[in-house]
Each structure stands twice: as C-alpha cells, then as structure tokens.
Amino acid sequence: MPAIATVDVRLTYGPLLLGAFFNILLYGVTCTQQLAYLQSPRRDPWPTRLLVWGIFFVLTANTVIEMLQMYSITILQYGAIPDELPIAFISQPLSVILVGFPTQCFFIWRIYALGKFMAVPIVIFLFAIVATSAGLWTAVLVPVVARFANIPRLYRTAQVWLIASAVTDISIATSMACILRRHKTGHRNTDNIVDKLIRMTVQTGVVTALCSILDVVCFLAPALQGHTVNFIFDIPLPKLYSICLLSTLNARDSLRNAINGGGIEVFSSSDFRLHHHGGGSGGRPNVELDFRPQVRVVRQVETCTDGQKVRMSTASENSGTLKSERRQSTVSRDDVITSPDPALREYATRRSIGIVV
C-alpha cells in the first residue's frame, strides 16, 4: 500500500500540475504556429529562421522536462512529503530567459528599424538586460535553495526579473503602437491595416506582461508565500513569448493579402533593395528595384500620374527556376513620396507597412 501523505500538497504540487497543463496546451498552439510559419511562401533571412527554430527547440525541451518533472513528483514520489526541489526546476527560469530575451530583442530591433531613433530602443534593451541577469541569478539560486520550504529565498531576485520583464514588454508594445500610428495616411484601407497591427502588437505585449505581473503578485501575497501558486503563470511564460513572435511573423501573409486586395502590390524590405543612381530626368536620381531570386509575386503593378508610369516586375520563372530581373523605374524616389497624386502617396505608405509586416 502506498504511504498516505501527511501534509497538504494541494498548494505545492497542484499549481505545478496546472502550470504543466497550460504549458502542454500552449505547446500545441506553438506547434500549429510553427507549421504555419514553415508552410508560408515567405523566406525570411537566416537570422530570423535561426531564431524561430532555436526557440522551438528550447520549447520542446522545456515541455519534455516539465512532463518528466511532474511524473517524478506525482508518480515516483507519490505519498512523499514535499521536500527537495526537483533538479529540473532549474530549467524553468532558463527556458523563460532563452525564449523571452531573444524575442524581446527581435521587437526592440523592429522599433529601431521603423522609428530610426536610438534612445528608446536602448532604454528598453537595458530593462531586458536587467530582467535576463536577474533571471539567470534566479536559476543559479535554485540548486542553492534546494528545498520547497526555502522557495521564498528566490522571491527577491525573481521580483526584479519579472518586473523588469513586464516593463520591457509594456514598453515594446507602447513604442510599436506609437510608431505604427505615424503610418496612418487618412486612407481607409491602409489605416484599417495599421489599426490591426496596433491591436495585435498591444495584445501580444500585454499578455506576456500580465503573466509576469500575476507571477509577482502570487509570490508576494502573504497568504500564498511559501507555496508554488505563481508557477501557474510562470511555467507557460516561454510558450506565450513564442506565440507572440510567431503570430507576428505569420500575420504578415494575411495582412499583405488584405493590402493587395486594394489593388496595389506590397513588398517587404526582405524582398527588394533600392539602388539610387544618376541619370534621371531633371538631374534627379532614378530608383532601381533589385529583386532577389527567392521573391515570387504573380502580378505587375502600374500606377500613372502626371504622364509618368511606375512599373514593377518580379522574378520570373525560367525552366523551373526563378531568375532575378531588374527593372528601372521612370519615377524618382522623391516623386513617389511627395507626388500630389494620392495613389502614389498611398503606395509609399503601404510599402512602409510592408516592411512592418
């Protein structure tokens, strides 16, 4: 007969089990997002692909470790009094750091790339560094603490870690929303796309920040100190960061389709490069669009204004392989951005949104 537990483990093992349930559920969502990213016709630069697959590997390892940990404390140690922390406990803060910090850096880089200013990204990055450092120190202290009864000794470093992480997430969401609002033009279709981007950015940032705040509240509440209730929010945190990243990357296709439905093709900065050189009319430099071989767009875009035509062609298929073409525009870059024609101004704005999404 198994030994009968002599202590109430509901607030010790119960939150860990609930956190593991949510963790596995969100892992299924992550796998779905990962499959959608893999099936997307887009091919991101290799650093982005390395980030996505590296995070997915960490999340898979984290899920396996959490399952083994719960099997150990609920089956192998059934009936035992909660005493020593499982050695796998150290993987939880490490998983949050290994997923959260690269994800935050990715969004910080986007803020810099879109806003073209340094002060705000640097400040946000410093908060991310503080959160990562405190998280690493928390992971180091786990084997030192060693026992469930000593978990409150982790509270101070965990408090710095999670509060700094919440400030980072909220700052990222706020900064992205402010930058995106600057892309509004008064055109209904484009502004609707910008509004969708703002809502998605704010929602994803608020979710991770809210979990971090609830984590802090749970281990600071006097009635919950010494228990593991905060792990209900802490264990799923790496999956939430991953879902935020993947949902942002996967949303580009649907948003681009919505933009293209307005009759103007949109390309991202990873699809082409602009080359400026002399020789244009009136001494102004012409713009040459250099399409990369992996780009594949099925239609041609033409816009006429003041007797001038903008034509953009994409890579064409030749004998089963894509061959890059170059077409020189007859309109200078300044013409596109400052033209009195609203269609060209709309195109310039949508192209900038294409860089965003």
Element (H, E) at 272: strand 272-277
Mean pLDDT of 290-319: 38
User: Does residue 109 surpass a pLDDT of 90?
Assistant: yes
What does pLDDT average to over the chain?
74
CA dihedral of residues 136, 140, 145, 151 (deg, nearest 10): 10
- Model confidence at 261, pLDDT cuts 50, 70, 90, reads low
Mean pLDDT of 174-187: 81
Residue 349's pLDDT is 52
* Least-confidence region, from 191-200, 226-235, 335-344: 335-344
Q: Is the pTM of this model over 0.85?
A: no
pLDDT digits (tens, 9 = 90+) for 195-204: 777 888 787 7
User: Does residue 127 surpass a pLDDT of 50?
Assistant: yes
Mean pLDDT of 324-333: 39
DSSP label of 227: S
Mean pLDDT of 169-177: 91
Mean pLDDT of 204-221: 87
pLDDT digits (tens, 9 = 90+) for 133-161: 999 999 999 888 878 888 888 888 999 99
Residue 260's pLDDT is 61
143 contacts: CB under 8 Å, gap ≥ 6: 87, 90
Name the nearest CA neighbour of 212 among 131, 114, 298, 123. Answer: 131
pLDDT digits (tens, 9 = 90+) for 114-125: 888 889 999 999
Residue 267's pLDDT is 42
**Domain positions in the chain:** 13-260, 272-356
Element (H, E) at 59: helix 46-71
Phi, psi for 335 (deg, rounded to 5): -60, -40
CATH of domain 13-260: 1.20.1070
User: Which of 7-11, 205-209, 219-223, 286-290 tops mean pLDDT?
Assistant: 205-209
Number of CB atoms found within 10 A of residue 261's CB: 9
Residue 337's pLDDT is 41
Q: In angstroms, rounded to a whole number, what is the distance separating the alpha carbons of residues 142 and 315?
A: 54
Mean pLDDT of 16-33: 94
Name the nearest CA neighbour of 348 among 314, 317, 303. Answer: 303
